[in-house]
Amino acid sequence: MNSVKFLTVFAVFLLLDLSAGTNMKRDRGVSFYNCLNSNTSSHGNIWITASVTGHVWDNSSKSMDSNVTVNKEKWLSNVRGFPELETHLGLFNIGTFFIESRVVSYGFKPGWISTGLKLTIPNNQELRLHGAGLLLKYTYQFSESNPSLGGYSGFMPEGFVVKGHNMEIKMLYEFDLISRMSSFPLRVLFNGGVRVPFAKERLNRTQIVANTGFVYSGYRYDFYVLYSLESFWNFFNPAIIDGAGKKIAVYFSENPMYLTLGGDVRYENGMTLSLSIPLLLSVNQQSKMSVEDLIELHRKTNPALFADEKKRGIVDPFDPWFVKWKIVGSVTFPLRFRTSSAEMMRNYLMLKNRKDVQKIDIDQKILNDKNSNDEYNNQTKEDRIRLEEINRRRSELNN
């Protein structure tokens, strides 16, 4: 009887411990580096993110720039680190309002500031296998002059930008497997849309922006592999960028595209530490930004060399000279938090699988104990009968 009471108390303790673990503060509208999920933060929740993007611009110095004296002994651009801040607020469980900014960029000047709204479908409070959302984002870009190459306006070390007002619209999709298979919390994300400059004369700088990837979203840890693309409309023919004294051709493989490896560490109080490493995938197609290729495009001494660019009247070389890699670290924490039923269920399902090895089937345990007691009683009865038989025979011999 005492063993049954002990097992009952122990089982209740396990259930209480399991439910207590669901207090993990988890943002329903979490993003993974630059890839967004389809959910939005719970109503009234406020989250703050501080991050730093660092890189070494590890291309060799460009001697084509007449405004820069090239130092052959070291890189033109060394180690850089740019701070960024973001805050977002959950609205009515179907939206998230956000403001974000790169506080300091090249030349110790502001980089950009963005604000916008992320919307989702009304069943945001439930764990869903398929989720959909919409991102509306306004950005003001303070500068489009890169730190070294004169004339290549807009081509910054981390991608192409247009100074001034820009609008970005993205469709968001998420496949969240935990709603069907709690033992394997895999997410598949896709974001796709356009980034459009407001200035009419810059509409040919409109870009397709896309992000996709796989996320293993655990209880305390996330691991992800992402792909990002910022492309001109150059899937079949190169985009011709003509302006600022330059005429260049940008082929599809020369668009900024990155493969990102990263992960998160999450704490009970909601603080999340993230580290991401984007790696450049862009590949050059025709000429490179060198004096030799510049001369060839003008003199055309070898007709077979850069034939496609020459056919299109291109006189300035281009190659994807963006940074080869970046390191992005961030810390996120809540200023105001109220958990959603969906994330409470997510925590429960993850903890349930973690606790499986500790589960005890009380009915089976009681049955096993009963069988053990029956075997003991049967064995004791047989021993008593044998002892009585021995005593009886001993008594007969004595008589």
Q: How many CB atoms lie within 10 A of CB 254?
A: 24
How high is the pLDDT of residue 17? 42
> Which amino acid, one-letter code, is at 397?
L
Report the alpha-carbon distance of residue 162 to residue 384 in Å, rounded: 97
pTM of the predicted model as reported, rounded to 2 decimal places: 0.80
Q: How many CB atoms lie within 10 A of CB 187?
A: 22
* CATH T-level assignment (fold) for domain 2-283+322-357: Porin (2.40.160)
How high is the pLDDT of residue 289? 84
Report the alpha-carbon distance of residue 61 to residue 75 in Å, rounded: 6
Per-residue pLDDT of the chain (399 residues; tens, 9 = 90+): 444 444 443 344 344 344 444 578 999 999 999 999 999 999 999 999 999 999 876 544 454 544 444 444 454 446 788 999 999 999 999 999 999 999 998 878 899 999 999 999 998 889 999 999 999 999 999 988 776 666 688 888 899 999 999 999 999 999 999 989 888 999 999 999 999 999 888 888 899 999 999 999 999 999 999 999 999 999 999 999 887 678 899 999 999 999 999 999 999 999 999 999 999 999 999 998 888 888 999 888 888 899 999 999 998 999 888 889 999 999 999 999 998 889 989 988 888 877 544 555 555 656 666 566 666 566 666 767 777 777 777 676 666
How high is the pLDDT of residue 283? 95
The tens digit of pLDDT for each residue in 320-350 reads: 888 899 999 999 999 999 988 899 899 888 8
